Structure 1
Amino acid sequence: MKALVLAGGSGTRLRPITHTSAKQLVPVANKPVLFYGLEAIAEAGVTEVGIVVGDTAAEIRAAVGDGSAFGVDVTYIPQAAPLGLAHAVLIARDFLGDDDFVMYLGDNFVVGGIADLVDAFRAERPDAQILLTRVPNPTAFGVAELDAAGQVIGLEEKPRRPRSELALVGVYLFSPAVHEAVRAIEPSWRGELEITHAVQWLIDAGREVRSTTISGYWKDTGNVTDMLEVNRSVLETLERRIDGTVDDDSEIIGRVRIEAGAEVTGSRILGPAVVGPGTVVAGSYVGPFTSIAGDCRIEDSEIEYSIVLRGSSLRGVGRVEASLVGRDVEVTPATRKPAAHRLVLGDHSKVRISS
């Protein structure tokens, strides 16, 4: 069995962060989301991995390399434009050959991995296996309809009137039968070859399509709210470890990881939280579910339930929460007078300012 990991796409819902960074490399608990997927694939015993890349190919290649750090062998597959998940299967035909494969969306996060799912597929070998989970907003996802016996009878991509609350999780398993399906379908109204249409083609052709409804944790990390929620979930599993320096005037409570080279002075850190290497936390409060990457400075500030990327600083900021701070960002207090706001914001930013 092989794996096909999708790491293209523009990440519009994470702008402005994704103007300068691949969405799959935005870190959760100081580790890129994509890395969790590669580790899950390796743990399932799959070692041949094709990664579909787009405009951020150079950044993905630099981060993942040949895959040896994850115990896999990586082949990069360029995709000229994000033309749909089924299109990714189409262009990966030479890599996939006639092998079964698992397709994993690189910005998805599944707690518990996929080893059991892969083992079951290998043993039973249906033509396709999809993962489903109940969501409150099915219009934002591919949605599956099941009959009374639990058999998949229909799929629809981002329906206006969903026939169920069962959304497709970004992990699929296929036999070589899917290659005929992706060649047979036409682009949707979005101009993309939809994987839901390919699976529907298999159903209509009488092929065996199975589903597994998971009750565990899954998130599509395509927006800030979900990124913060995944960060919270991962930090819940954190083990306390203090490798950096903490002075006597500081208080470290609960599951806190302070990486080697980090320095904490006169501060209070309440876990779960992680402080990256080379970061300085001085005279500050770091609250639960916060990930601070390496080479940051948090001085005379308070931050909670947030992600701070490498090289950024918060100085003299009274309170920051539920925030995603990009790389090399400077956050400082605004002057009291005149009563105006001075902003430098990327495209599609969203800012809340109190009057």
Structure 2
Amino acid sequence: MKGLILSGGEGTRLRPLTHTRAKQLVPIANKPVLFYGIEDMAAAGITDIAIVVGDTHQEIRDAVGDGSRFGVSVTYIRQRAPLGLAHCVLIARDFLGDDCFVMYLGDNMLEQGLAEFVESFEKSREQTPSLMGDAGPSRAQILLTPVDNPSSFGVAEIGPDGDVVNLVEKPTDPPSNLALVGVYIFDSCIHDAVAAIEPSARGELEITDAIDWLIQNGSRVRHQLLEGWWIDTGKKDPLLECNRLVLDTVARRVDGAVDDASKVEGRVVVSEGAKIVKSTIRGPAVIGANTRIENTFIGPYTSIGDECVITDAELDHSVVLEGCCIDGTNRITDSLIGQHVQVTRSPERRQASRLMLGDHSNLELG
């Protein structure tokens, strides 16, 4: 089985940060979102992976490389314009061949791994014809989760036998509350489907239309319900929530230097080369390599990137990327701060700040 990770989106909902970086490389607990998906595929035994990339292709290539650091082989496929998820399958035809494959949205984060999802699909195709039913072996499997607002998602209708009988994109009258999560498995029949469908009203080849084409042409589409949380990290607040959830799983590790006047409380990672001076770090939190924290309080659910300098400040529930300098600020909370940003405070400012700053910004809080 092969893997197809879609990382061609422009990240408009994370601007200004994504004016200068791929949204799939924004870090969660100091690790790019995209890396979690690659690692999940490797853990499921998928070692031949293609990544569909767009305008930020070089940045993603530089970050991921040939995949050897993850124990996989990575091929890059350029999508010249965001023409839909099914279009990604269309342009990946040569790479995919006739193999089954997992398709994964590169800005998604799942608590559940992929191994059981893949194993379930493979077992379903090994069943005897009598157990498969009239429709034969499964041609696709989708991951679903109940949501409170199904009209905002692609929604599945499930038949009495457990197979998917209908898919609707953002329906005004949803047939269920089961939304597509953004993880799919297909066999080679999907290539006929993506070649047969027409672009939607928004000019894209929709994967929901392709899956529905399979159903209408007699193919079995199975589903599995998601276990645990799922977050689309394409907006600031969901990204910060995802950072919180992942930080809840970290184990305490202090590889850097902590002086006697400092406190490191709870599940905190202090990376090699980091220095904590006259400060309090209250976990869960991650402090990047070669970062200096001085006369500062770092509160729970905060990730500080590598090579940062933070002095006389207070931060919590925030993600700070590498190379930032934050000096003399009152409380910064619920914030996403790009790389090489400088934040200072004028003496008059007292209230807390909520920030979303692109790379190389220079901000004085007045």
Distance in structure 2 (CA, Å) of the matches to 1:212 and 1:267: 47
1:229 CA drift (Å): 1.1
Q: How far has the Cα of 1:160 moved from its partner?
A: 3.6
Q: Which moved more, 1:200-209 or 1:160-169?
A: 160-169
Distance 2:342 2:38 in 1: 32
Aligned-pair CA distance for 1:335: 5.4
In 2, distance between residues paired with 1:121 and 1:112? 16
Separation of aligned partners in 2, 1:272 and 1:150? 40
Q: Is the 8 A contact 2:323 2:340 kept in 1?
A: yes
1:179 to 152, 168, 191: 191
Equivalent in the alignment of 2:212: 200
* Secondary structure in 1 matching 2:345: coil
Residue matched to 2:344: 332
Deviations 1:65-97, CA, capped at 9 Å, x for gaps: 000001111111111111000000000000000
Q: Distance in 2 between matches of 1:112 and 1:235?
A: 16
SS in 2 for 1:288: coil
Percent of residue pairs bearing the same amino acid type: 58
Q: CA deviation at 1:153?
A: 1.8
User: 2 CA distance for matches of 1:344 and 1:289?
Assistant: 16
By how many angstroms is 1:149 displaced? 4.4
Instruction: Work out which of the residue numbers 160, 164, 172 in structure 1 matches 2:176.
Output: 164
Separation of aligned partners in 2, 1:275 and 1:209 = 44
What's the counterpart of residue 318 of structure 1?
330
Cα distance change on mapping 1:104 and 1:344 into 2, 3 Å: closer
Match of 2:30 in 1: 30
Tell me, yes or no, if the aligned pair for 2:336 and 2:356 is still in contact at 8 Å: no
Q: Contact (CA 8 Å) 2:112, 2:227: kept in 1 or not? A: no
1:233-312 equivalence runs, <5 A: 233-312=245-324
Hey, what's the Cα distance between the residues in 1 that align with 2:159 and 2:97?
33
One-letter amino acid matched to 1:116: E
The alignment status of 1:68 with 2:63, answered yes or no, reads: no
2:239 counterpart of 1:227? yes
Match of 1:127 among 139, 160, 177: 139
3-state SS, counterpart of residue 113 of structure 2: coil
Out of 149, 152, 155, the residue aligned to residue 167 of structure 2 is 155
1:167 to partner: Cα distance: 1.1
TM-score w.r.t. length of structure 2: 0.91
Aligned length: 346
Task: Provide the rounded CA distance (Å) in 2 between the counterparts of 1:217 and 1:54.
Answer: 28
Which residue is 1:340 aligned to? none
**2:269 partner letter:** R
RMSD over equivalenced CA pairs, Å: 2.1
CA distance in 1, matches of 2:356, 2:211: 45
**What do the CA deviations read for 1:49-79 (whole angstroms, capped 9, x no partner)?**
0111110000000000000001111111111
Q: Is the 8 A contact 2:17 2:357 kept in 1?
A: no
Residue in 1 that maps onto 2:15: 15
Ranges in structure 2 where 5+ consecutive residues have no aligned partner = 126-137, 350-354, 359-364
Q: Report the AA paired with residue 182 of structure 1.
A: V
Q: Counterpart amino acid of 1:138? A: P
Separation (CA, whole Å) in 1 of partners of 2:171 and 2:346 = 44
Structure-2 change in CA distance of 1:344 and 1:182 (3 Å): closer
SS in structure 2 at match of 1:127: strand
Q: Scaled by the length of structure 1, what TM-score is found?
A: 0.93
Which residue is 1:190 aligned to? Answer: 202
Change (3 A) 1:345 1:244: closer
CA–CA distance in 1 between the matches of 2:160 and 2:281?
Answer: 51
Aligned-partner SS, 1:219:
strand
CA distance in 1 between counterparts of 2:256 and 2:337 reads 23
Question: Out of 202, 205, 211, which is 2:223 matched to?
Answer: 211
- Using the TM superposition, give the Cα deviation of residue 212 of structure 1 relative to its aligned residue in structure 2, in angstroms: 0.7
Task: State the alpha-carbon separation in 1 of the partners of residues 152 and 32 from structure 2.
Answer: 24
CA distance in 1, matches of 2:328, 2:173: 48
Question: In structure 1, what is the Cα distance between the partners aligned to 2:342 and 2:152?
Answer: 34
Counterpart for residue 58 of structure 1: 58
Does the CA-based 8 Å contact 2:2-2:100 persist in structure 1?
yes
Distance 1:334 1:202 in 2: 61
Q: Which residue of 2 aligns with 1:350?
A: none
Deviation of 1:214 (Å): 1.3
